[in-house]
Amino acid sequence: MARAPSFKKIHSDILSCTVCAEHLPLGPRPVLQINPKARVLIAGQAPGSRVHETGVPFQDPSGNRLRDWMGVDEDVFYDAKRIAILPMGFCFPGTGKSGDLPPRPECAEAWREAVLAKLVNIEFTIVLGKYAQDYHLAGDGRAKRSVTDVVADWKSHWPEALALPHPSPRNQIWLKKNPWFEKDVLPKLKRRVKALI
C-alpha cells in the first residue's frame, strides 16, 4: 500500500500546480498559508488580483477587515503555526461583470481533502463566503440557503466553525443591513480566536 504524501510534499506540489493554468488570466500563482500546527483555519474563496501580485493571502482591504473581525494583528495572522489560510481556489480566477469570478473547481478537487487531512490540529474554521460555505457546511443541507441565512444561523456550528460574509469592502451594505452581525457575532469570534492562538 502506497504511503500518503508528506505535508511538505503536498505543499510543494501545490505551489507548483498548473492544473487549471489555461483558465487563469494571470497564470498560476497559488496563494495559501498552511502548517500542521495551526489551530484556526480560514476557509476562503480565492485570491484577488492584488493578492496575486504579492503572493500574500489577504494582503488587501478584505484582509484588513478580516483581521479586525478576528481581533488579531498581522504578526499573528501571518503565523502559519497559528492560522492556516486555505482558499477554495489557490489562484486568482479572473474578473467578471460583478467582481472576481468564482474559484476554479479543479483546485478543491485536486487538493482540498489532502490538505485538510494534514491539518490535524484545527479546532475552529472560519468559513468565508458562499463557495467555502457550500463545501464546508453543505452536509447540513444549507447549500441552497443564502449567505445571510447561513451566517444568521451561526450557532449551529459553534464552536467548531463560524460562517461569515466575505470581508470585502463590497459588503458594506450587507453589514449596514445586518447590525446583529457586529453586535452578536464578532465579539464571540474575537474571544474564540484569542482562546486558540
**What pLDDT does residue 147 have?**
85
pTM: predicted TM-score of the whole model, two decimal places: 0.93
What Cα–Cα distance (Å) separates residue 167 from each residue in 6, 24, 28? 33, 23, 24
**What pLDDT does residue 140 have?**
53
- Strands annotated E in the chain: 40-43, 83-85, 95-96, 99-100, 124-128, 161-164
**What pLDDT does residue 146 have?**
86
Mean pLDDT confidence for 109-134: 95
Compute φ and ψ for 182, nearest 5 degrees: -70, -35
Please name the amino acid found at residue 173: I
Q: Terminus-to-terminus CA distance in the chain, angstroms?
A: 37
Supply the CATH classification number for the domain 28-196: 3.40.470.10
**What pLDDT does residue 185 have?**
97
Q: Which of 77-81, 101-105, 164-168, 172-176 has the highest mean pLDDT?
A: 77-81
pLDDT class of 2 with cuts at 50, 70, 90:
low
Grid coordinates belonging to 8: 511538505
Given a cut of 80, whether residue 117 has pLDDT beyond it is yes
pLDDT class of 24 with cuts at 50, 70, 90:
very high
Q: Where are the domains of the chain?
A: 28-196
Mean pLDDT confidence for 37-63: 95
Instruction: Give percent above pLDDT 90 in the chain.
Output: 84
**What pLDDT does residue 102 have?**
93
